[in-house]
Structure 1
Amino acid sequence: MDDPERRARLRLARSSRIGPVTFAQLIGRFGTASAAIEALPMMAARGGGRAPELADPRRLNDELRRVAAAGARHVMIGDADYPALLEQTDAAPPVLIVRGDLSLLDRPSIAMVGARNASAAACRFARQLAHELGQAGATIISGLARGIDTAAHHGSLATGTVGVIASGIDIAFPPENAELQARLGEEGLVIAEQPPGTEPLARFFPRRNRIIAWAALGTVVVEAAPRSGSLITARLAAEAGREVMAVPGSPLDPRAQGCNALIREGATLIQSAADVMEQIRPIDIRSVRAPVSRWGAPPVEDAGDADRAAVTALLGPVPVTVDELIRQSSRVPAIVQTVLLELELAGRLERHAGGRVSLSAL
């Protein structure tokens, strides 16, 4: 990509109502971000609303300046060094901000997550497990949070570790991990999806978790309470076809209940680095890189008024899968996806986990 197209892609990704799925569909339909931006008013009008608000060029200039000042850079989906495992997912972030060595993700990668208030024994186990996995040739990915994340990063600093954060690349959270985050930027890799200066708000952590899960061949949960963020990461890993592994714990410890539940539901019980490597060793990371051709796809079919009416009539406030809309509308997938894209650009559609969609609440 030349510089004008990279800037156009950054502007498109930072515009309102343009999520990862919408971004991918626009690029697939129009070929370039510049062409997609020009077509936004037309597409939104067909969906019955106004076009998304484009990012202010001054904000883009400020972001570029702050990323450079942090010693980081932008990596866009479609770039040769965009993380391979992450790129194959349908909702891969269009733009990442990275500081450090991206080649760490060319090696087999294992996500390690767990409780922030983890027990001393669990932290010691996580640190040792991360160290042994690193010695076996794996890169450890975690979220730079307190507890298990911190232990996993410390255990794998010497062999290769990646921290995915929910804030901007220039903000350390929690504050006590500022030095650790700086070390990862110099000796490992730090990844942020949010622009510089973004505070780590609660809604950004599930998005951070999906990057952790999708950038790894498998996820190991060391200690987790029921309904914790670690279990969200495990669920995301499972939905993406990744290995889910869990360390068993005492039934008397609430912090072990999440791991024990994962094992009961089919996660692999692991007790050593050898157990983890046995699960991921048969997988060739090169075989899962997404084909670049999807970024040069021909335009999809345009929808007519009858198509829009048929698809829209099937939508409501309750999320439904796109496959169900295709089946019930008797329209080809390209037509249904076009109608959904128009509705989303018009602000009338919401996307949910699991490829489900619903009409927006007005």
Structure 2
Amino acid sequence: MSVDRVTGKSGIRLSDRQRIAWLRLIRSDNVGPATFRQLINHYGSADGALAMLPELSQRGGATRALRIASVADAERELDAARRFGATFVGIGEPDYPPALRHIEGAPPLIAMKGDLSSATRPSLGIVGSRNASVVGAKFAAMIARRCGEAGYVITSGLARGIDTAAHRASVETGTIAVLAGGLDQPYPPENLGLLDEITSGAGLAISEMPFGWEPRARDFPRRNRLIAGISLGVVVVEAAERSGSLITARMASDFGRIVFAVPGSPLDPRCHGTNGLLKQGAVVTTGPQDVLDTLAPLSQLDLFDPPVIDEPDKPMGTMLPPDDDERHLIVSALGPSPADIDDIIRHTGVAASIVYLVLLELDLAGRLHRHAGGLVSLAPDE
């Protein structure tokens, strides 16, 4: 652990070699944030984990060879980031958004472009309808402007409507645009100019996706989890009953963040979701002070605590592979319904370290699904 002499923020600093290895690992097939964390904990380093991927996936019953990102692949992406004016920041490094470190499935590396200091300031998320009303957009801008002036960075998803209004109102005070695709593939195209304003000023663009990745429908919920994770609270302005904004609100609640909702007309479908959030206990928000008063105690919390992923001095990788009986017990205990890992340990009577290793093997073989809350299920056979 080191402390930056300029900012005073604590954290690890990845070496160039570590950064390449981390990027290779997270870009390899079947390696998501949870799997990444377990591999690092088990084998001590990304290099050690990369060396074990083929054996682990084979033991898990993979039917084809696992694609492992090469050094050349990682170097090309790092070069693309540098040419784009971006950098990759690891989860334990001082410039990583501190609140994001603690959510389930926090990305081990994120690409960032702009004013990196924005990432470590207290943040408020503002989301809502893409088809926003004039009144809704004006209200979102008012919240963003006033909370920005009070010291909060405004985080949103660069989408049309409410997101755009929130970003525009906080360009000068600081705003974070979270992208669903690679940093070089922003969406929608009409917000390219806004994104340039953000990254050339007091704001920041971030993404966990590879450079060149064009966003698809399933990438937007992943983006929404980052908005919720970065923020101390999320304000929802105009959201239909089935919308990405409600996904963001649900994730924020799961992460222990405060959810704010702006009441709207029961006759406007764009307000059905926000009115529903109010019935579920969201903070009634009729002005900026509602947000500022509620967030005030949280903004004093010290978020700059130790990193949650580091390369341990004593990895667990010397443990012998599970035997066939243990593996059979664990696989038999799994099914299509999500199960708690602690319940699997109790049910099988197998040591926790063995259970986690078998789940890691299955995950790398593409035979395991991971669900919210740390639950797992067996993937159906292809």
Q: C-alpha distance in 2, partners of 1:76/1:85? A: 14
User: Which residue in 1 is equivalent to 2:161?
Assistant: 147
Cα distance in 1 for residues equivalent to 2:165 and 2:151? 18
Deviations 1:318-352 (A, max 9, x none): 22232332343344543322221111112211112
Q: Secondary structure at the match of 1:241?
A: coil
Aligned to 1:359: 378
Q: Which residue of 2 aligns with 1:194?
A: 209
1:339 matched to which residue of 2? 358
Give the aligned residue type for 1:235. R
Q: Could you list the per-position Cα deviations for residues 12-39 of structure 1 after superposition, in whole angstroms to 9, with x for gaps in the alignment?
A: 1111100010001111111210011111
| Residue type at the aligned position of 2:18 | E
Q: Deviation digits for residues 277-319 of structure 1, max 9, x if unmatched? A: 2222112565344533652444446644333222211111222
Q: Identity percentage over the alignment?
A: 48
Q: Aligned match of 1:107 in 121, 137, 147?
A: 121
What letter matches 1:28 in structure 2? N
Structure 2 distance, partners of 1:51, 1:182, is 41
Where do residues 131-142 of structure 1 align in structure 2 (5 Å cutoff)?
131-142=145-156
Amino acid at match of 2:121: R
> Once superposed, what is the RMSD of the aligned Cα atoms?
1.8
Q: Say if 2:294 is the partner of 1:279.
A: yes
Is the aligned partner of 1:72 residue 2:74? no
Cα separation, 1, equivalents of 2:23 and 2:309: 19
User: 1:6 corresponds to which residue?
Assistant: 19
Instruction: Quickly say closer, same or farther: Cα 1:194–1:296, change in 2 above 3 A.
Output: closer
Aligned length: 362
Deviation string, structure 1 residues 163-214 (Cα, Å, up to 9, x no partner)? 0011211123111101001111111100011112111211111111110000
Q: How does 1:1-362 map to 2 (within 5 A)?
A: 1-49=14-62, 52-187=66-201, 188-284=203-299, 287-289=302-304, 291-292=306-307, 294-297=309-312, 298-300=314-316, 303-361=322-380, 362=382
Deviations 1:104-150 (A, max 9, x none): 13222100000000111000000011000011111100000000000
Structure 1 286/74 Cα, relative in aligned 2: closer, same or farther at 3 Å? Answer: farther
SS at 1:52's partner residue?
coil
Gaps of 5+ in 1: none
For 1:122 and 1:212, how far apart are their aligned partners in 2?
20
Give 1:209's aligned amino acid: N
Could you tell me whether the CA contact under 8 Å between 2:262 and 2:285 is conserved in 1? yes
Contact 1:109 1:139 in 2 (8 A): yes
One-letter amino acid of the counterpart of residue 249, structure 2: A
Matches of 1:290 and 1:45 in 2, distance apart?
A: 38
2:93–2:307: 8 Å Cα contact kept in structure 1?
no
Q: Is the 8 A contact 2:182 2:208 kept in 1?
A: yes
Structure 2 contact 91–307 (Cα < 8 Å) conserved = no
Report if the CA contact (8 A) 2:96-2:119 is conserved.
Answer: no
Q: Which amino acid aligns with 2:271?
A: A
Cα distance in structure 1, aligned partners of 2:303 and 2:117 = 16
Mapped to 1, the partners of 2:238 and 2:343 lie a distance apart of: 37
Q: 2: CA distance between counterparts of 1:289 and 1:135?
A: 23
Q: Is the 8 A contact 1:88 1:290 kept in 2?
A: no
Contact preservation (8 Å) 1:30, 1:36: yes
Q: CA deviation at 1:45?
A: 3.0
Counterpart code for 2:193: E
Rounded to whole Å, the distance in 1 between the matches of 2:65 and 2:371 is 21
| Larger displacement relative to structure 2 (126-135 or 67-76) | 67-76
User: Do the aligned partners of residues 289 and 45 (structure 1) sit closer, same or farther apart at CA in structure 2, a change above 3 Å counting?
Assistant: farther
Stretches of structure 2 lacking an aligned partner (at least 5 in a row): 1-13
Q: For the structure 1 residues 327 and 259, does the alpha-carbon distance in structure 2 shift closer, same or farther, using more than 3 Å as the test?
A: farther
- 1:223–1:247 contact (8 Å) kept in structure 2: yes
Q: Structure 1 162/25 Cα, relative in aligned 2: closer, same or farther at 3 Å?
A: same
The SS at the match of 1:210 is: helix
Return the alpha-carbon distance in structure 2 between the equivalents of residues 288 and 354 of structure 1: 22
Q: Cα distance, 1:90 vs. partner?
A: 2.7
* Cα gap change, 1:65 to 1:120, in 2 (>3 Å): same
Secondary structure of 1:283's aligned partner? helix
Task: Go from structure 1 to structure 2 and tell me whether the alpha carbon gap of 1:288 and 1:52 turns closer, same or farther (over 3 Å shift).
Answer: farther
Whether the 8 Å contact between 2:132 and 2:238 is mirrored in structure 1 is yes
Scaled by the length of structure 2, the TM-score of the pair is: 0.90
Letter in 1 for 2:331: T
